């Protein structure tokens, strides 16, 4: 296999717009051999994984949730049938004038859906006997259902490219009716074996079945982990993610598209801070692998092909200290643990962390002083109450309280700006925002401002005006002078 190649991943919203995906990513102005020398990994079409598992944002049940929570009910069957109808409607939209290709696409959907239905029906029947535990099999069920979405989009994309004369090959890493006992590397290497990148364009499923379980380990970020691992195993020259937005200085929907700017260049440290706040440019595990392999990552907007996007490198540092991005996150809870007898005594922090790990609460950041430890968390109310109960039982004299907050953050590859905190405080104060807390690590890549949830949007706007818009205007005036 050639080593002078790139690997590209097309996100769900992007692959759903067939014309944009073809014109701006898959073919565009490429002709002949220019089309090849790439490996393309595709996500499921937008919304499909929500149908199969659960809605990513609001938790509405999909096939998996209904199957896992239902006793003998058949709600999951209806949702699976509805999902099949949704997939076939996508086929009709993609192949409106190609009945033969549409028939192939519908047949592929029918085969996968029927296989899933048979597996779930037989598993439910088997587990009606007391010797078999359904809960032990649910992780495998989740993996199987997730795989259908990526297989569907990859199969359709291959059909479409073949129709247009491209030598595309469908590379199915989902393990459907195949040997299940493979590592991720083994699955990828087997799938890509024998492909000549100079002559073929592999269209690879973003889900790759392996013995450790991709969904179990990486949640809904599994496609980016597959993409990253392929880049590493094939020693790609560059990795490119095509999304429906630019990696910008802030959310253009909040700030206004005319006020934000494309980042252009940054490093993996910044990408990690974004992921920590739930604003992933790439899954942290995927970024870790690319960083260690020293493979640059380019994030491009599918719908703005003239823009080169943002390149993320291991060693990039901005020419001068500056804020590259302002962002924030809601749904944060400050868990405050106060114990007057904590001073000089070890073990409290370790016990709190043990409880947080036991109930799988996600820690964004934490601060402490002589007798107080505060963890800023994202978690369900049920899990949070379990942690509080556990801590009160173990430390009956401690005061354990919670406060709903939000976090606004300035992020950059080098934030060693004199007076950054003073400027930020003034900007937030002028906007009438009360800062509840500040977290500024010595590494100087991010500064977090704890604010009331209702103040988050105003805080992000104020910080963006101060550190991005104002500094950009100043730089323009200096250049004009």
Q: Each residue of 429-461: pLDDT tens digit?
A: 999 999 999 999 888 999 999 999 999 999 999
Residue 368 in this model has a pLDDT that exceeds 70: yes
pLDDT at residue 237, rounded to an integer? 95
Record the tokens describing residue 247, joined without a space: 């990696």
Judge residue 194's burial from the number of C-beta atoms within 10 Å of its C-beta, 0-12 exposed, 13-18 middle, 19 or more buried.
exposed
Instruction: Convert the pLDDT of each residue in 413-431 to its tens digit.
Output: 999 999 999 999 999 999 9
pLDDT, averaged across the chain = 92
Do 43 and 12 meet the contact criterion of CB atoms below 8 Å apart?
Answer: yes
pLDDT at residue 127, rounded to an integer? 77
Instruction: Convert the pLDDT of each residue in 248-270 to its tens digit.
Output: 999 999 999 889 999 999 999 99
Round to whole Å and give the CA distance between 365 and 384.
Answer: 16
Round to whole Å and give the CA distance between 450 and 273.
Answer: 16
Residue 408 in this model has a pLDDT that exceeds 90: yes
75-94 and 138-163 helices cross at what angle (nearest 10)?
Answer: 10
pLDDT at residue 479, rounded to an integer? 63
The pTM assigned to this predicted structure is: 0.89
pLDDT band of residue 480 (cuts 50, 70, 90) is low
For the segment 318-344, the average pLDDT, to the nearest whole number, is 92
pLDDT band of residue 474 (cuts 50, 70, 90) is low
Record the tokens describing residue 133, joined without a space: 């535990």
456-464 and 420-430 helices cross at what angle (nearest 10)?
Answer: 130
pLDDT at residue 395, rounded to an integer? 92
Instruction: Convert the pLDDT of each residue in 210-233 to its tens digit.
Output: 988 999 999 889 999 999 999 999
pLDDT band of residue 132 (cuts 50, 70, 90) is confident
Name the percent of the chain lying above pLDDT 90: 79
Residue 308 in this model has a pLDDT that exceeds 90: yes
Residue 43 in this model has a pLDDT that exceeds 80: yes
Residue 34 in this model has a pLDDT that exceeds 80: yes
The DSSP annotation for 61-102 comes to B-HHHHHHH-SS--HHHHHHHHHHHHHHHHHHHH-TT-HHHH
User: Is the pLDDT higher at 343 or at 8?
Assistant: 8
Do 156 and 91 meet the contact criterion of CB atoms below 8 Å apart?
Answer: yes
pLDDT band of residue 470 (cuts 50, 70, 90) is confident
Instruction: Convert the pLDDT of each residue in 270-297 to its tens digit.
Output: 999 998 887 777 889 999 999 999 999 9
**Residues in contact with 410: Cβ distance below 8 Å, sequence separation at least 6, in sequence order:** 323, 325, 326, 420, 424, 446, 447, 463, 467
DSSP-assigned beta bridge partners for residue 266: 312
Residue 88 in this model has a pLDDT that exceeds 60: yes
């Amino acid at each position: 296999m050639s080593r002078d190649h790139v690997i590209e991943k097309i996100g769900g919203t992007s692959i759903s717009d067939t014309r944009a995906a073809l014109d701006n990513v898959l073919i565009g102005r490429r002709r002949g051999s220019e089309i090849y020398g790439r490996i393309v990994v595709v996500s499921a079409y937008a919304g499909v994984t929500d149908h199969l598992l659960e809605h990513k944002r609001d938790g509405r049940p999909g096939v998996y949730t209904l199957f896992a929570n239902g006793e003998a009910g058949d709600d999951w069957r209806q949702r699976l049938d509805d999902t099949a109808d949704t997939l076939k409607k996508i086929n009709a939209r993609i192949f409106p004038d190609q009945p033969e290709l549409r028939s192939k696409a519908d047949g592929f959907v029918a085969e996968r859906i029927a296989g899933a239905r048979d597996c779930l029906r037989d598993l439910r029947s088997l587990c009606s006997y007391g010797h078999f535990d359904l809960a032990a099999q649910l992780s495998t069920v989740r993996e199987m259902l997730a795989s259908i979405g990526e297989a569907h989009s990859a199969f359709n994309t291959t059909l479409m490219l073949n129709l247009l004369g491209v030598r595309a090959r469908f590379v199915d890493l989902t393990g459907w009716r195949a040997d299940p006992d493979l590592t991720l590397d083994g699955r990828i290497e087997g799938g890509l074996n024998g492909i000549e990148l100079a002559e073929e364009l592999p269209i690879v499923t973003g889900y790759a079945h392996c013995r450790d379980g991709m969904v179990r380990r990486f949640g809904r970020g599994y496609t980016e982990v597959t993409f990253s691992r392929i880049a590493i195993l094939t020693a790609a020259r560059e990795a490119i993610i095509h999304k429906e937005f630019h990696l910008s200085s802030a959310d253009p929907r909040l700030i206004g598209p005319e006020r934000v700017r494309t980042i252009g260049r940054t490093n993996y440290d910044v990408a990690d801070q974004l992921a920590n706040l739930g604003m992933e440019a790439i899954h942290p595990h995927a970024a870790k692998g690319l960083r260690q392999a020293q493979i640059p990552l380019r994030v491009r907007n599918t719908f703005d092909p003239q823009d080169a996007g943002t390149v993320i490198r291991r060693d990039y540092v901005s020419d001068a200290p500056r804020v590259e991005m302002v962002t924030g996150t809601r749904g944060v809870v400050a868990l405050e643990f106060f114990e007057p007898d904590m001073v000089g005594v070890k073990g409290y922090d370790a016990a709190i962390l043990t409880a947080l790990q036991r109930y799988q609460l996600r820690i964004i950041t934490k601060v402490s002083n002589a007798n107080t430890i505060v963890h800023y968390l994202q978690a369900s109310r049920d899990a949070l109450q379990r942690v509080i109960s556990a801590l009160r039982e173990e430390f009956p004299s401690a005061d354990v309280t919670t406060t709903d907050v939000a976090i606004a953050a300035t992020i950059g590859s080098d934030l060693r700006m004199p007076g950054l905190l003073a400027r930020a405080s003034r900007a937030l104060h002028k906007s009438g925002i009360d800062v509840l807390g500040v977290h500024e690590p010595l590494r100087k890549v991010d500064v977090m401002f704890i604010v009331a949830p209702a103040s988050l949007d105003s805080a992000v706007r104020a910080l963006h005006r101060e550190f991005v818009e104002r500094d950009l205007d100043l730089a323009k005036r200096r250049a004009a002078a």
